[in-house]
A and B are shown apart, each in its own frame.
Chain A
Amino acid sequence: GESVGLHLPTLSVQEGDNSIINCAYSNSASDYFIWYKQESGKGPQFIIDIRSNMDKRQGQRVTVLLNKTVKHLSLQIAATQPGDSAVYFCAVRARGDYKLSFGAGTTVTVRA
């Protein structure tokens, strides 16, 4: 099965700085990767995704990097804002599978 782990359970960042959240996965057959943001009392909110045929994808203030060689995924948030305070999850899907395996989540706190 798939094992998904995060490097840090918590991250404190100064407002305006860049944030980097890391995730490691175990299954080399993983082909689809998603980052979610979850605020208190809400369901996970889609941030950005990337397929295994890519190594970088950019969105608005966010970038996802995929290193298939070391099975590592990261989310970069530029110019972090107070509204970015939340729990961030990486989710991984194996080829031919229909479920997502989630990491434990990183709690990001933005300091004013």
Chain B
Amino acid sequence: KAGVTQTPRYLIKTRGQQVTLSCSPISGHRSVSWYQQTPGQGLQFLFEYFSETQRNKGNFPGRFSGRQFSNSRSEMNVSTLELGDSALYLCASSLGSRGLDGYTFGSGTRLTVV
């Protein structure tokens, strides 16, 4: 059974550019969450989607956005990149709607902004 797949694994972007990251959840999982991991702030919640609806959003600026498609795959977009956006972006999927089934994480996308 395939796990959570995130693409690309590594990305280098210039300040001011925008970036789109992709996440394919475990087959059958309908909830997808995104987290940002940095050495200083640890793991911070970005947003969560279930059946194409955003149910929860973290305290990030509007430059961070996401969406979920009908096949449960999700993308997140960061516009007008800043140096501080350099981080490991992690996606997690969960089976049910209540979020009590465990969250399986992907290996992440390492974004470096220069």
A contact residues vs B (CB 8 Å cutoff): 31-32, 34, 36, 41-46, 49, 51, 89, 91, 93, 97-105
Contact = CB atoms under 8 A, between A and B. Distances in A.
B100 interface: yes
A7 to B, nearest CB: 16
B104 A100 contact: no
A61 B43 CA distance: 26
Interface string B35-66: 10000001101001010000110100000000
Given A98-B31, A99-B58, A44 B45 contact: no
Enumerate the 10 nearest inter-chain pairs by beta-carbon distance, A residue then B residue, closest first: A43-B105, A102-B43, A99-B45, A98-B56, A98-B48, A44-B105, A43-B107, A98-B55, A43-B108, A99-B56
A43 B106 contact: yes
Contacts of A102: 35, 42-43
Between A31, A32, A89, A100, the greatest number of chain B beta carbons within 10 A of the residue's beta carbon is seen for A100
Contact of A99 (B33, B42, B100): B33
Given A89-B43, A104-B42, A98 B50 contact: yes
B interface majority secondary structure: strand
B102 to A, nearest CB: 6
Given A97-B56, A98-B50, A104-B42, A46 B90 contact: no
B105 A100 contact: no
Given A45-B105, A98-B56, A51 B100 contact: yes
A93 B99 contact: yes
Nearest to B33: A99
A34 B103 contact: yes
B102 A46 contact: yes
Contacts of A97: 56, 99
Interface string B54-97: 01101000000000000000000000000000000010100000
A101 B108 CA distance: 18
B106 to A, nearest CB: 5
Contact of B99 (A43, A98, A101, A103): A98
